[in-house]
Structure 1
Amino acid sequence: MIPAAALLVGAVVIGWWSPRALSRLAATGTGPGTVIAWWLLAAAGVVAGAFGSVLLLVLPGHGPAGAVLRVLHDCWSTAGHDGFPALDPIAGLGSAAVLGAAAVRLARHSLARRRRRNVLHRRHLTALRLSGDQRPLPTLWLPDDEPIAYSLGGRRPLVVASTGLADRLTEQELRAVLEHERAHVRGHHHLLTGCAEVLGRTLRFVPLMRELPAAMRLLVELAADRTAAARCGTAPLRSALLRVRAADGPRRALAMAGGDTAIRLHHLDATAEPRFTAGVKAVAGGIAALLAPPAVAVALVVGSGLIACP
Structure 2
Amino acid sequence: MITAAALLLGVLVVGWWSPRPLSRLSALVGPGTALAWWLLTAAGLVVGTMAGVLLLVLPGHGPAAAVLAVLHDCWAAVGHGELPALDPIAGGAAAAVVLAAATRLALVSAGRRRRHAVLHRRHLVALQLSGAGGDGPLPTLWVPRDEPVAYSLGGRRALIVASTGLKDRLSARELHAVLAHERAHVRGRHHLLTAVADVLGRTLGFVPLLRELPGAVRLLVELAADRAAAAQCGAGPLRSALLAIRAVEGPRRSLAMAGGDTAIRLQRLTARTGPRLVTRAAAVAGGFAALVAPAAVAVALVAGTSLVWCP
Same fold by TM-score, threshold 0.5 exceeded? Answer: yes
Deviates more, 1:231-240 or 1:133-142: 133-142
**Shift, 1:245, TM fit:** 2.5
1:231 is the counterpart of 2:197: no
Deviates more, 1:239-248 or 1:121-130: 239-248
Matching residue of 1:298: 299
**Shift, 1:215, TM fit:** 0.5
Matching residue of 1:33: 32
Q: Is the 8 A contact 1:16 1:208 kept in 2?
A: yes
Q: Is the 8 A contact 1:7 1:49 kept in 2?
A: yes
Q: Which residue type is aligned with residue 158 of structure 2? A: P
- The DSSP-based 3-state class of the residue aligned with 1:136 is coil
Q: Which residue type is aligned with residue 97 of structure 1? A: A
* Correspondence 1:213-232 to 2 at 5 A: 213-232=214-233
**Shift, 1:250, TM fit:** 1.1
Whole-angstrom CA distance in 1 between matches of 2:294 and 2:307: 20
Percent identity, aligned pairs only?
70
Q: Is the 8 A contact 2:37 2:286 kept in 1?
A: yes
Q: Which residue type is aligned with residue 101 of structure 1? A: A
**Shift, 1:134, TM fit:** 5.1
Across the aligned residues of Structure 1 and Structure 2, the Cα RMSD in angstroms comes to 1.5
**Shift, 1:86, TM fit:** 1.6
Whole-angstrom CA distance in 1 between matches of 2:308 and 2:99: 36
- The number of residue pairs the alignment matches comes to 289
**Shift, 1:222, TM fit:** 0.5
Q: Is the 8 A contact 1:150 1:160 kept in 2?
A: yes
Q: Which residue type is aligned with residue 42 of structure 1? A: T
Matching residue of 1:15: 15
- The DSSP-based 3-state class of the residue aligned with 1:61 is coil
Cα deviation digits, residues 97-132 of structure 1 (max 9, x gap)? 000000001000110000000000001111112325
Matching residue of 2:256: 255
**Shift, 1:305, TM fit:** 1.2
Unmatched tracts of structure 1, length 5 or more: 64-83
Whole-angstrom CA distance in 2 between matches of 1:272 and 1:117: 36
- Compared with structure 1, are the counterparts of its residues 43 and 62 closer, same or farther at alpha carbon in structure 2 (3 Å cutoff)? farther
Matching residue of 2:192: 191
Q: Which residue type is aligned with residue 283 of structure 2? A: A
Matching residue of 2:78: none
1:50 is the counterpart of 2:49: yes
**Shift, 1:272, TM fit:** 3.1
- Compared with structure 1, are the counterparts of its residues 185 and 93 closer, same or farther at alpha carbon in structure 2 (3 Å cutoff)? same
Q: Is the 8 A contact 2:246 2:262 kept in 1?
A: no
Q: Which residue type is aligned with residue 9 of structure 1? A: L
**Shift, 1:302, TM fit:** 1.5
**Shift, 1:58, TM fit:** 0.7
Whole-angstrom CA distance in 1 between matches of 2:25 and 2:164: 38
Q: Is the 8 A contact 2:149 2:245 kept in 1?
A: no
Whole-angstrom CA distance in 2 between matches of 1:62 and 1:24: 42
- The DSSP-based 3-state class of the residue aligned with 2:111 is helix
**Shift, 1:198, TM fit:** 0.4
Whole-angstrom CA distance in 2 between matches of 1:233 and 1:309: 62
Whole-angstrom CA distance in 2 between matches of 1:281 and 1:110: 33
**Shift, 1:62, TM fit:** 6.1
Q: Is the 8 A contact 1:147 1:245 kept in 2?
A: no
Q: Is the 8 A contact 2:245 2:258 kept in 1?
A: no
* TM-score, normalised by the number of residues in structure 2: 0.90
**Shift, 1:85, TM fit:** 7.5
Q: Which residue type is aligned with residue 114 of structure 1? A: R
Matching residue of 2:80: none
Q: Is the 8 A contact 2:120 2:153 kept in 1?
A: yes
**Shift, 1:243, TM fit:** 2.5
Whole-angstrom CA distance in 2 between matches of 1:62 and 1:257: 54
- Compared with structure 1, are the counterparts of its residues 248 and 309 closer, same or farther at alpha carbon in structure 2 (3 Å cutoff)? same
Matching residue of 1:242: 243
